[in-house]
């Protein structure tokens, strides 16, 4: 049988192409001896994708943030699965995330939800099929996606938005959280956000697109909005209750990488910009 031809990563453009950034850093971590992290499915994906991975400038700060983000979400989702082994996990803007394969307990149900072109690309990667692992084509801005998800939902549901929401406006944040509150009352969500006022302040000094590797992506991609104070998330919708947050950036790494480019007070503020937030929909 002839070898399967590679998929061309350039088939994805704009925000969809950003999925290669966390994949790149997860693979690097998986291949690092002594890291304690293995992601065989991510490495398998990379082998199937023809893409110029070298264009991603190695940023110790970004690498550290993605490492922490991966660890935090693996731990939080893993703890949820331990408490609710038959629950449904819904990964919004899933991209090429492989957390299902790392955390599968053989009873959990898991939905990877993303734009049609991303899901079509992912299907061609031919990852091992499971009736409990569903690939669902939808935009999180489409008000119909919760209805499609609820067909698979039982008593317990956890929603994840890793690296997704910062690309949306404040109004779009409110619409997404409102749709979840309408359809999944009593459930929890883990999502990534950033202190947008700090991002804008730092952007006056350095090109954050290059620092985040977004500048290497085809098309016009920008971080649009995020929560300065995660505890104020209920201002977007009063039914969203803040539970806790997990910082993503290491202050010492920020000082090493950007201490010569930013005023000291901005370096410290930068270290507090990115976070994973856990909320419940009351």
pLDDT exceeding 70 applies to what percent of the chain? Answer: 94
- Residue 54's pLDDT is 86
Containing 57, the helix (H) or strand (E) segment is none
Rounded-to-integer distance, Cα 255 and Cα 187, Å: 38
- Residue 178's pLDDT is 98
- Residue 267's pLDDT is 83
- Residue 140's pLDDT is 97
SS3 call for 277: strand
pLDDT(217) > 80: no
The stretch 104-122 carries a mean pLDDT of: 97
The stretch 19-38 carries a mean pLDDT of: 94
Opening angle at CA 26, ends 248 and 85, nearest 5: 80
- Residue 15's pLDDT is 84
For the chain, the average pLDDT equals 91
- Residue 132's pLDDT is 98
How would residue 209 be classed by pLDDT, with cut points 50, 70 and 90?
A: low
The stretch 212-239 carries a mean pLDDT of: 85
How would residue 268 be classed by pLDDT, with cut points 50, 70 and 90?
A: confident
pTM: 0.93
Tell me the sheet residues that pair with 245.
277
The stretch 260-266 carries a mean pLDDT of: 84
Question: Each residue of 65-88: pLDDT tens digit?
Answer: 999 999 999 999 999 999 999 999
- Residue 1's pLDDT is 44
The stretch 214-220 carries a mean pLDDT of: 68
Least confident of 82-86, 88-92, 124-128: 124-128
pLDDT exceeding 90 applies to what percent of the chain? Answer: 70
Q: Which residue, among 109, 104, 105, 66, has the nearest Cα to 87 in the 3D structure?
A: 109
DSSP 114: E
How would residue 61 be classed by pLDDT, with cut points 50, 70 and 90?
A: confident
SS3 call for 124: coil
- Residue 2's pLDDT is 46
The stretch 53-60 carries a mean pLDDT of: 81
The stretch 238-249 carries a mean pLDDT of: 96
CA 272 → CA 65, 76, 246, distances in Å? Answer: 11, 20, 10
Helices (DSSP H) in 138-237: which residue ranges? 145-150, 170-183, 196-202, 208-211
Q: Report whether 137 contacts 115 (CB < 8 A).
A: yes
Q: Report whether 227 contacts 197 (CB < 8 A).
A: no
Better pLDDT: 146 or 273: 146
Question: Each residue of 136-185: pLDDT tens digit?
Answer: 999 999 999 999 999 999 999 999 999 999 999 999 999 999 999 999 99
- Residue 4's pLDDT is 67
| Per CATH, domain 7-281 is 3.40.50.150 | yes
How would residue 208 be classed by pLDDT, with cut points 50, 70 and 90?
A: low
pLDDT(250) > 90: no
């Amino acid at each position: 049988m002839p070898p399967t031809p590679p998929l061309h990563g350039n088939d994805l453009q704009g925000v969809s192409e950003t999925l290669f950034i966390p994949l790149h850093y997860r693979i690097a971590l998986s291949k690092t001896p002594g890291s304690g992290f293995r992601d065989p499915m991510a490495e398998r994906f990379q082998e199937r994708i023809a893409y110029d991975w070298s264009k991603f400038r190695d940023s110790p700060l970004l690498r550290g943030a993605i490492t922490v983000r991966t660890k935090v979400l693996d731990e939080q989702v893993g703890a949820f699965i331990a408490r609710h082994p038959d629950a449904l996990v819904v990964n919004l803007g899933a991209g090429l995330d492989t957390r299902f394969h790392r955390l599968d307990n053989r009873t959990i149900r898991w939905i990877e939800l993303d734009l049609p072109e991303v899901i079509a690309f992912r299907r061609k990667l031919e990852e091992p099929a499971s009736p409990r692992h569903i690939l669902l084509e939808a935009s999180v801005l489409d008000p119909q996606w919760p209805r499609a998800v609820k067909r698979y939902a039982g008593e317990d549901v956890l929603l994840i938005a890793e690296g997704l929401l910062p690309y949306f406006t404040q109004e779009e944040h409110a619409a997404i959280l409102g749709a979840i509150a309408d359809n999944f009352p009593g459930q929890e969500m883990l999502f990534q956000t950033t202190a947008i006022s700090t991002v804008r302040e730092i952007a006056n000094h350095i090109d954050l697109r290059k620092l985040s590797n977004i500048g290497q992506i085809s098309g016009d991609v920008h971080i649009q909005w995020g929560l300065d104070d995660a505890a104020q998330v209920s201002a977007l919708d009063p039914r969203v209750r803040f539970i806790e947050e997990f910082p993503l950036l290491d202050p010492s790494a920020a000082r090493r990488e950007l201490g010569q480019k930013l005023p000291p007070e901005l370096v410290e503020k930068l270290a507090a910009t990115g976070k994973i937030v856990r909320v419940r929909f009351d």
